[in-house]
Structure 1
Amino acid sequence: MSSNSTENPALSQLQSKQKDLLDDIDTLRNQGIGHYIELPQLIVCGDQSSGKSSVLEAISRVRFPSEAGVCTRFATEVVLRRAPTSGISVSIKPGDSRTQSEHPQLSEFRHSCSDASELPLIINKAKDAMGISADNTNGRSFTDDILCVDISGPDKPHLTLVDLPGLIRHSDRPSDIALVKRLVESYMANKRSVILAIVSANYDTAIQEVLTLLKKHDPEGLRTLGIVTKPDRLEPDSDDEMERLRLIRNERISLRLGWHVVRNRNDATRNATDAERDDAEMSFLTSRVWAAIDRGHKGIESLRSRLSEILTQQISSNMPKLVSEIKQQLFDCKERLNKLGEPRKSPKEQRRYLLNTSSKFQDILRNVNEGRYLDNEFSSEISSQHWSSKRLRAAVDKLNQEFADTMHQKGHRRQVLSDTLKDSAISHPWRNDGFEDATISRIDLASELDEEAIKMKPRGLPDFPNALLVSYLFKDQAKPWDSLSRSHLKESFNTTRRVVRSLLAHVANEDVSNRISREIFDPWLLERQRAMEEMLKLLLKPHLRGDTITFDPSYRTTTKVRREAAVVDGIGTALGVDSARPLESLGPKYSWLDIEAAQKRNMNTGKSLTSLDLIADAEVYYEIAMHSFIDNVCIFVIEHCLLDELVKLFNHEMVSDMEDAALEHFAAESPAVQMDREQLHRKMTTLEKGLMTCSQYEDISIPGS
């Protein structure tokens, strides 16, 4: 006896460490942290009548009720702990489907006993408390409540596992089949659950649903231990027996944790003692083909040790991630509570909340309008596809640049094509090759102006240039400005509206944000939109009328160059030479008489130098007017009428002037918000307790883990 107490101090220390670790995980589970964080656990799954209850009994050394499968109508959490004295306590954790009024009665269910024979009676009482119907006719046949059974004693291993209802193939109540499957899958889906898949040896593996579900939830077999039961039901030396042997050797269905085989009591040995059961099991598993199986993969004794080691390893390997997830969820809770603000029932509390919210909103809005993205909400979104929903200055500047590019490319109604190489060497604002606009040649446009000149002939000398033709041509070419600028206004307005709504949602809870957006932001923004439209109408008015007024000094110099180029181009064409070549390269071939004759021929061909001059003048004016118009739209419509006015949107003065009724309307907490706050506080309390429990294991090192 004395040798047992001192045989291995290191082993004793390890067992103590394992016990503390498992106890603390159970504490977390009892605190309810499993509602928010997936906890490591062993779950016992299998088809109905696969031998799950017998395995549980063999591991715990405690008999569970067997009549009508009562204990498998709900999840049973079995906590086994080594202790000097034996004892059993039973409690109930209400499921998520329970109403608030049902929680107290179930949570208060507590029963204890020192004699294991009393357990079936206590479980039946728990079944009655949960409303489980024994005959499946009244009440529930299954429930998501959890029965908690704590078993301690000197022969118990340090182990916690969850026994789940057996998967059903046939039932008088078809809804039960889906309900049980849904319950089992909810546990299997937990990536930190180690699945103990109970497989009956006397049934073909192909028809056992637990293996089908494994393919879905653990397809690579990384967190499953297969347990084969009822090997004594197989005919000796049969094909089925050899097939199950290959299964246990991990040759048929490969699992990282491998397989284990046990032989439990049958109907004939139902009343056998635990010692008799173990002797019969070992006698069987050391005979026939089972003798070839490694001792660590057969028998209930080695299974207990194996399960305890697996669970400890699973917990220790997941503990760092567990701590990290708890910290992240705590951070998220605090962020949500900060957004909800302090409770606000009185007008004073409501005004304080709105003033604080508007201050945060205006601070961030001012920064994003000036292009300073300092808030964490925005600094992490530089490469995000949705950056334009938060970065106002960058988004609007991008739209302004796109507007300018579009005006250069598509602002003119028609492309005026070059007639000669000389002309093509000059940059014309109305020639954007590659765009599918309507086109006209420069000569044809000159002829068109000649015809228009006849219709618009004013009083005065014949063939005198009509300056109104420049206005006519400009107005005709500038027709797309209206639709292009209105489209830019719309995009800039929508982008700004999207950003301000997003910023408000960042600093206020959803309920308040929605009301303010709908009743304050939208009407105010609608006024801004009207102001933008009025300003744009003023900017468009002279251009739509075709007024040609400019005092830009570049107009005179540029038109002079263009006219001279047009004259030279016309003479060169009449001479039949490339006017793009330098004059000295033409040699002494042409005299002044030749040039004079060429000039006359050029005029006799119908090419009006006056009309070509007017086209050149209109192009120069168009380019100057377009640049001015682009700047004016961006500055006066977008900046002045919209962005500069944002300082007035939901600012300190607006909130200060609100009547008490308005404060209550916008800032009073709805019942849903009050409930959300309470739930967040409860969650934070649970997570903080969990963090204190887990932090001591953050750098845990368990041998073999």
Structure 2
Amino acid sequence: MALQAPTSQRLDELCSEEQLQLLNAIDSLRSQGVSHYVSLPQIIVCGDQSSGKSSVLEAISGVSFPVKSNTSTRFPTELILRKSDASSVTVSIIPHYSRSDGDKEALAAFQETLKTFDEVPTLIEKVKDAMGISTMGKAFSKDLLRIEINGPDRPHLTIVDLPGLIHSANKHQSTADIELITEVVKKYMKEARSVILAVISAKNDYANQIVLSLARRADPKGLRTLGIITKPDTLIPGSGSENMYISLARNSDVEFRLGWHALRNRDSDGDPQTLSQRDEQETAFFSKGAWSELPLSQLGIQPLRNRLSKVLLHQIATELPNLMEEIAGKAAICQQQLDKLGLPRTTVHDQRIYLIQISQGFQTLVQAAVDGTYNLAFFGDAMSTAGYERRIRAVVQNLNRDFAAELDKNGERYQLSSPKREPSTNGNTLTREQYIKKIEILLDRSRGRELPGLFSPMIVSDLFREQSSPWAEIAERHVRKVWAAARKFLGHLVNHVADVTTVEAIMMYVIVPRLDGNFKAVSAQLSKLLGPHQDGHPITYNHYMTDTLQKLRRERDESRIDTVIAKLFDTFSGEGRLRAGYSLEQVRDAFIVSGDRDMDHFAASEALDYLSAYYKVAKKRFIDDLAVEAIEGCLVAKLKDIFSPIDISRMPDSDVAQIAGETTESRQTRENLEAKLRMLSYSLETCRRFAEFKVDDLSENDERDNSSNDPAFDDVSWTEGSDDAGLKSPPPTSRDILEAVAASEDVPSLEHGCLEDVVPSKDPGDDDFWTGLSSKKDKKAKKSKKKPPPDWSW
């Protein structure tokens, strides 16, 4: 079959230069491998094995594919159809990204140009050999076969044929093959920009065909799925099976927003009929019987070509803005990763410059974190775990507060029981009398030259040393928590400013050793702060101690007076009258404090008061000293200097090379990122160039439309190079194209809102054609005045 002698009529609509640029732009991105990074708009053909997928492709394209019942698609096939003056068929292979570099190079070199369509089946076998597919070995491949067909009778269409889904393993198709094919089909289906062409064979019950369940799982609402019923001629006319499939075609059973379509396939077993004969036989079949009751737009190959072209064009047009946004986002991330890698570091000088650069960024972020200024992107969300860990000032402040609360609750060796105070968790709670008894014993064993009823000042030192003994453990635990928080913070920071290949070396050889040194400095400062409390004698000139001592005594007096009042007065009557039987002398005597005749008890009680008063003063001082002199002075304030440019400039060459020298992995990572960024940048520029062209074109058309008040203006058929009603008609805009798609009476599924449901809502006042099919005003005009869609036959 010569390329110059096409055998079937092809769609000659929707063939403007604008559309060709649009479709070619997307195909170009796919050929560059962009689909590995972002989902591209496409039509994918899916179905169970032997469902008739290859026959559908053959009917759409006019190219003969292997359709024998004992063969099946062994790899994804991208079929690109383009209308052009010259006919050609070009075949290439796009290697899967998981291939080795050698395999990628070999497969990418596969290029074939065919002279006749009869060579396609032979070419398929060559492709299998190139991909390493054999019936006894590797049965399927993830590589993509790309077939580009140009000719004057071709539609503007790109579709991807996927391997048929297998129900059970046999000697030619293993369980592993089944899993591989299912994985490939699921991957293509789950891409939100893919329109799923679900091919169902009428030879089998559609409820048992795998493709339907997978399509429903990938597209639960059926917004982007078009069902294709093949082999309807195998059904017995008037049978229940035929009625069931006709009901399916009416979208009454399995509902898809894009609807259903029916095709009659050629016989796969040696049917010699040409494609033209196939189309004639199909037309004859659908013109009679129960199938003739369906709309013509749902029957046969010619309406399907129209339908697919419109669906693909609409899908690309509506997804392009989101596609550009996604590409821009991934390109920005890629650039950030490259920035972290820095320039190639082949010499010690390059390596030192790299370390100095990231140390500058390190210091900037440390200073911001220590100052509590969290407006940089590094700090992220405060409500996330990582975001909080990066806010080192907030973490330290909270840990200091927790330490103060812990010391207040559990810092005393013996805690005096009190209804106003939460009991300690260390289980050493004593009543005042129990504590006085312990002090009396200590007084007996430490007696000096003091008179009875007095106590030696050294007693307070001994008592305080014992009472503050838990401080060391609580403070050490607090220091370890702050140190651990600082290490987490610095780990996040180094991961942010350095590339993945140097993070570990920087942490191991720079950050951790110096942070450990800071920890030792904090520990030494802690020991210094604990020394006066553990080894010295009480010293304070703070009047708070006197105030506390007086407060303690006042509280005991108030408690005793309350007891006396409750005993002498009728406090329950609300009048506070003196109870009968008490004289004024008795009342006076009751309020007079009787002397403590036990001098040791009195001395012990006084010593306990002094201990309690001094403990509170010393505790407050210790909390502040630890926070200011140890945590802040020896750790937090020193974080910025852990990784400084000055230290890097003085670092020996051997250390610089050990830390920042590039590994093979690092060089490969940079090369991959650079290739990815080039690809994404090219893709973004391609999309932007096309989108900007459309916006400008639309603006010009708006000015043209606004300049005309002729109501017949809307009925002009825009045909390139022709004049109508005295107007020189430019090519139609993409808005015209989409409105024609929406208004087309050829496709009922489009008329009933199938496409509008997947179009983003139009912002009032926004006239960009990407954001909607037509305005409300346009729709009202269509309802009030029926008009044919524009003629796209140029």
The answer, yes or no, to whether TM exceeds 0.5 is: yes
- In structure 2, what is the equivalent of residue 639 of structure 1? 632
- In structure 2, what is the equivalent of residue 344 of structure 1? 345
Alignment deviations for residues 542-594 of structure 1 (CA, whole Å, 9 cap, x no partner):
33348322121332343245335545755775797589x9xxx8989544995
CA drift of 1:59 comes to 0.6
Q: Give the 3 Å change call, closer, same or farther, for CA 437–47 of structure 1 in structure 2.
A: same
- In structure 2, what is the equivalent of residue 397 of structure 1? 397
Q: Give the 3 Å change call, closer, same or farther, for CA 563–80 of structure 1 in structure 2.
A: same
> Any conservation in 2 of the 1:512–1:666 contact (CA below 8 Å)?
yes
Q: Secondary structure at the match of 1:72?
A: coil
Give me the whole-angstrom Cα distance separating, in 1, the residues matched to 2:266 and 2:562: 114
One-letter amino acid of the counterpart of residue 151, structure 2? G
Q: Give the 3 Å change call, closer, same or farther, for CA 557–198 of structure 1 in structure 2.
A: closer
One-letter amino acid of the counterpart of residue 150, structure 1? E
Alignment deviations for residues 489-517 of structure 1 (CA, whole Å, 9 cap, x no partner):
01111111111222122111112121010
Give me the whole-angstrom Cα distance separating, in 1, the residues matched to 2:324 and 2:674: 19
CA drift of 1:63 comes to 0.8
> Any conservation in 1 of the 2:15–2:156 contact (CA below 8 Å)?
no
Matched, 1:677 2:670: yes
- In structure 1, what is the equivalent of residue 484 of structure 2? 494
One-letter amino acid of the counterpart of residue 407, structure 1? L
One-letter amino acid of the counterpart of residue 669, structure 1? E
2:544 corresponds, among 547, 550, 554, to 554
CA drift of 1:394 comes to 1.7
- In structure 1, what is the equivalent of residue 715 of structure 2? none
CA drift of 1:36 comes to 1.1
- In structure 1, what is the equivalent of residue 413 of structure 2? 413
- In structure 2, what is the equivalent of residue 538 of structure 1? 528
1:650 corresponds, among 643, 649, 654, to 643
Give me the whole-angstrom Cα distance separating, in 2, the residues matched to 1:620 and 1:450: 19
- In structure 2, what is the equivalent of residue 96 of structure 1? 97
1:697 corresponds, among 691, 702, 712, to 691
Alignment deviations for residues 212-271 of structure 1 (CA, whole Å, 9 cap, x no partner):
222322222221111010111111111111111111111221111111111111257822
Q: Secondary structure at the match of 1:149?
A: strand
One-letter amino acid of the counterpart of residue 675, structure 1? Q
**Higher mean C-alpha deviation, range 544-553 or range 367-376:** 544-553
> Any conservation in 1 of the 2:15–2:83 contact (CA below 8 Å)?
no
Give me the whole-angstrom Cα distance separating, in 2, the residues matched to 1:74 and 1:484: 67
One-letter amino acid of the counterpart of residue 515, structure 1? A
**Higher mean C-alpha deviation, range 432-441 or range 308-317:** 432-441
Give me the whole-angstrom Cα distance separating, in 2, the residues matched to 1:623 and 1:322: 66
**Higher mean C-alpha deviation, range 489-498 or range 59-68:** 59-68
Alignment deviations for residues 36-94 of structure 1 (CA, whole Å, 9 cap, x no partner):
11111111111111111111111111111345766611111101112233221111112
One-letter amino acid of the counterpart of residue 491, structure 2? R
Matched, 1:476 2:473: no
Alignment deviations for residues 614-671 of structure 1 (CA, whole Å, 9 cap, x no partner):
2222221111000000001111210122122224312122211222222211111111
Q: Give the 3 Å change call, closer, same or farther, for CA 94–459 of structure 1 in structure 2.
A: same
CA drift of 1:195 comes to 0.9
One-letter amino acid of the counterpart of residue 630, structure 1? I
- In structure 2, what is the equivalent of residue 82 of structure 1? 83
Alignment deviations for residues 128-168 of structure 1 (CA, whole Å, 9 cap, x no partner):
322332xx12x532212211111122222111001111112
Give me the whole-angstrom Cα distance separating, in 2, the residues matched to 1:327 and 1:435: 57
Give me the whole-angstrom Cα distance separating, in 2, the residues matched to 1:482 and 1:505: 35
Matched, 1:505 2:495: yes
Q: Secondary structure at the match of 2:388?
A: helix
One-letter amino acid of the counterpart of residue 223, structure 2? L
Give me the whole-angstrom Cα distance separating, in 2, the residues matched to 1:44 and 1:497: 53
CA drift of 1:280 comes to 1.3
Q: Give the 3 Å change call, closer, same or farther, for CA 571–203 of structure 1 in structure 2.
A: closer
> Any conservation in 1 of the 2:382–2:388 contact (CA below 8 Å)?
no
Give me the whole-angstrom Cα distance separating, in 2, the residues matched to 1:505 and 1:267: 60
- In structure 2, what is the equivalent of residue 523 of structure 1? 513
Q: Counterparts of 1:447-486 in structure 2 under 5 Å?
A: 447-486=437-476
Q: Give the 3 Å change call, closer, same or farther, for CA 481–263 of structure 1 in structure 2.
A: same
One-letter amino acid of the counterpart of residue 295, structure 1? L
CA drift of 1:184 comes to 1.7
Give me the whole-angstrom Cα distance separating, in 1, the residues matched to 2:289 and 2:591: 123
- In structure 2, what is the equivalent of residue 628 of structure 1? 621
**Higher mean C-alpha deviation, range 215-224 or range 47-56:** 215-224
Q: Counterparts of 1:44-193 in structure 2 under 5 Å?
A: 44-66=45-67, 72-133=73-134, 136-137=135-136, 140-169=138-167, 170-172=169-171, 173-174=173-174, 175-193=176-194
Alignment deviations for residues 353-381 of structure 1 (CA, whole Å, 9 cap, x no partner):
11112122112212211222343212x42
CA drift of 1:13 comes to 7.2
Give me the whole-angstrom Cα distance separating, in 2, the residues matched to 1:518 and 1:268: 69
> Any conservation in 2 of the 1:93–1:146 contact (CA below 8 Å)?
yes
- In structure 1, what is the equivalent of residue 360 of structure 2? 359
**Higher mean C-alpha deviation, range 690-699 or range 24-33:** 690-699
Show structure 2 runs of 5+ residues with no match.
1-11, 696-733, 743-772, 774-794
Q: Give the 3 Å change call, closer, same or farther, for CA 603–97 of structure 1 in structure 2.
A: closer
Q: Secondary structure at the match of 1:101?
A: helix
CA drift of 1:443 comes to 3.1
> Any conservation in 1 of the 2:263–2:299 contact (CA below 8 Å)?
yes
Q: Give the 3 Å change call, closer, same or farther, for CA 101–548 of structure 1 in structure 2.
A: same
Give me the whole-angstrom Cα distance separating, in 1, the residues matched to 2:654 and 2:260: 70
Matched, 1:385 2:379: no
One-letter amino acid of the counterpart of residue 646, structure 1? L
Q: Give the 3 Å change call, closer, same or farther, for CA 314–589 of structure 1 in structure 2.
A: farther
Pairs aligned (count): 677
> Any conservation in 2 of the 1:82–1:157 contact (CA below 8 Å)?
yes
- In structure 1, what is the equivalent of residue 611 of structure 2? 618
> Any conservation in 1 of the 2:230–2:263 contact (CA below 8 Å)?
yes
CA RMSD of aligned residues (A): 2.8
Q: Give the 3 Å change call, closer, same or farther, for CA 459–269 of structure 1 in structure 2.
A: same
CA drift of 1:673 comes to 0.9
**Higher mean C-alpha deviation, range 233-242 or range 535-544:** 535-544
Q: Secondary structure at the match of 2:596?
A: helix
Alignment deviations for residues 162-193 of structure 1 (CA, whole Å, 9 cap, x no partner):
11111122321412222222222221121211
CA drift of 1:596 comes to 8.5
Show structure 1 runs of 5+ residues with no match.
1-10, 419-423
Give me the whole-angstrom Cα distance separating, in 1, the residues matched to 2:268 and 2:653: 77
Q: Secondary structure at the match of 1:649?
A: helix
Q: Percent identity?
A: 36
Q: Give the 3 Å change call, closer, same or farther, for CA 571–452 of structure 1 in structure 2.
A: farther
- In structure 1, what is the equivalent of residue 589 of structure 2? 595
Give me the whole-angstrom Cα distance separating, in 2, the residues matched to 1:60 and 1:596: 115
**Higher mean C-alpha deviation, range 438-447 or range 389-398:** 438-447
Q: Give the 3 Å change call, closer, same or farther, for CA 586–530 of structure 1 in structure 2.
A: farther
Q: Give the 3 Å change call, closer, same or farther, for CA 185–574 of structure 1 in structure 2.
A: closer
Give me the whole-angstrom Cα distance separating, in 1, the residues matched to 2:563 and 2:539: 33
CA drift of 1:340 comes to 0.5
**Higher mean C-alpha deviation, range 506-515 or range 14-23:** 14-23
CA drift of 1:611 comes to 3.1
Give me the whole-angstrom Cα distance separating, in 2, the residues matched to 1:286 and 1:245: 14
Q: Counterparts of 1:574-589 in structure 2 under 5 Å?
A: 577=567
Q: Secondary structure at the match of 1:460?
A: coil
> Any conservation in 1 of the 2:509–2:659 contact (CA below 8 Å)?
no
> Any conservation in 2 of the 1:571–1:598 contact (CA below 8 Å)?
no
- In structure 2, what is the equivalent of residue 221 of structure 1? 222
